[in-house]
Amino acid sequence: MDEKVLDGDTPSFSPDGSQLAFSRDPNVLIYDFKTGQERPVFSWNLEKTQKRMYVGHLNWSPDGKKLAYTRTIIVGDGQRDIESVGFLDVNDPQDHLVEEVSIGYAATWSPDGRLLTYVRNPISDEAELVIYDTDHSCTVGTKTIPGQDGTSFWSPDGKIILIKYYSDLYFVNVEAIFGKDYRELGCSMNP
């Protein structure tokens, strides 16, 4: 085993393998393998009432320009923790918060890197698959799914979204459910 290089969690290799995104709560950083240097991408500030933050499930967009994340803020004092999903531009220090909601696990990118999909749990006994247009900041569509949480994954051709709920696997045919090929999905669908 080689020597330790970094301290961090939730590592994710860039699509070209030249960089590694990781969290060192409440920060997201990128390590460049060529230079051997790390650089900050974004850091959140906790409010006085918030005890701790966990950034998880970092996921690079296919073009290597954005990082999807999930985040949990531990509030304490009997208050509900704050869970959210969003994305960061790796070259522009902005947080693009998509939604504060009870989430399943990772948010993942469509093959063209425009759309995010994730599973949220808006009510206790059902979950929803969400497709979100990151270029225009809107929800393209939702689909009620079995279970209470889960992780969604795009197929390489974008025709199917796989949802993993514990050991169960569900396939969502994008065109059959949302009415269009994934490349045609976007905010224009929702006037």
Model confidence pLDDT, tens digit, residues 139-170? 999 998 877 677 889 999 999 999 888 788 88
Report which DSSP code applies to 103: B
Total-model pTM: 0.88
Report which DSSP code applies to 4: P
94 and 108 in a common domain: no
How many domains does one find in the chain?
A: 2
pLDDT in tens, 47-76: 776 677 889 899 999 999 999 999 888 777
Q: Which of 100, 115, 133 is the last residue of a domain?
A: 100
174 and 106 in a common domain: yes
Q: Which of 100, 115, 150 is the last residue of a domain?
A: 100
- Per the CB < 8 A criterion, the answer to whether 84 and 100 are in contact is yes
